[in-house]
């Protein structure tokens, strides 16, 4: 495993799905990875990274961004309201918008700072009570509310339940996105990104398969 292997698999999956080369954005999920591993992946040419926590990203990325041009940062973990301003300043995209209060805060800070990250709405496709994300039946209304706030809503994101077939959830997310005229589909991780690409993923989030297993020690 490693960056090149994953890139090759993404390219193969694009071809098998009859999609144009480069139509899928690979997000290298660098959360809790040691700096030297992140640096090695930067040196190998990867420029799009995903982080779970605003604070961790703020401690890690400003230095890398000074040294490597063209870095794009995506927040893929839950965003607390009190970290919204920092997130709007630091990230190019937020994949975990799932409630109106949060959307309003992002809109306010975007207005104030004169920039807005791309917005992906997180959908709880498995309707799991412990998981973040808006319910599928409430997504259409929430997309409309975010658009009314002038937020750049690019697409939807999901994390399927661990014990269910992910492709059913990917297909559901694609259907909701199409209904709302959204092209972005942030779905698929290390274990299932090829299935996600076959069902229309535009962004896949791959961590351990690129960097090696995380050490939460």
pLDDT digits (tens, 9 = 90+) for 120-179: 999 999 999 999 999 999 999 999 999 999 999 999 999 999 999 999 999 999 999 999
Q: What is the pLDDT of residue 213?
A: 80
Q: What is the pLDDT of residue 204?
A: 98
DSSP secondary structure letters along 25-65:
EEEEE-TT--HHHHHHHHHTT--EEEES-HHHHHHHHHHHH
pLDDT digits (tens, 9 = 90+) for 78-104: 999 999 999 999 999 999 999 999 999
User: CATH code for 3-210?
Assistant: 3.20.20.10
pLDDT at 48 over 80: yes
Q: Interior CA angle at 136 toward 74 and 23, to 5°?
A: 40
Which H helix or E strand runs over 75? strand 72-75
Rounded Cα–Cα distance for residues 108 and 101 (Å): 11
Q: What is the pLDDT of residue 214?
A: 72
Contact between residue 88 and residue 116 where contact means Cβ atoms under 8 Å apart? yes
pLDDT at 217 over 70: no
Rounded Cα–Cα distance for residues 96 and 137 (Å): 17
Enter the pTM of the model: 0.96
CA nearest neighbour of 206 among 18, 56, 13: 13
């Amino acid at each position: 495993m490693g960056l090149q292997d994953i890139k090759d698999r993404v390219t193969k999956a694009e071809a098998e799905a009859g999609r144009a080369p480069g139509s899928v954005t690979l997000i290298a999920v660098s959360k809790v990875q040691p700096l030297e591993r992140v640096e090695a992946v930067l040196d190998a040419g990867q420029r799009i990274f995903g982080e779970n926590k605003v604070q961790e990203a703020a401690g890690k990325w400003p230095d890398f961004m000074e040294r490597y041009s063209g870095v794009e940062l995506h927040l893929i973990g839950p965003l607390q309201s009190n970290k919204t301003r920092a997130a709007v300043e630091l990230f190019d995209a937020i994949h975990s918008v799932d409630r109106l209060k949060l959307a309003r805060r992002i809109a306010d800070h975007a207005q104030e700072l004169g920039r807005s990250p791309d917005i992906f709405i997180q959908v709880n496709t498995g309707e799991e009570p412990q998981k973040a994300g808006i319910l599928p039946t409430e997504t259409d209304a929430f997309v409309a509310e975010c658009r009314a706030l002038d937020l750049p809503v690019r697409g939807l994101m999901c994390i399927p339940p661990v014990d269910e077939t992910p492709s059913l959830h990917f297909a559901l997310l694609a259907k909701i996105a199409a209904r709302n005229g959204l092209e972005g589909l942030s779905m698929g991780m290390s274990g299932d990104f090829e299935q996600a690409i076959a069902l229309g993923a535009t962004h896949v989030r791959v961590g351990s398969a690129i960097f090696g297993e995380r050490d939460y020690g």
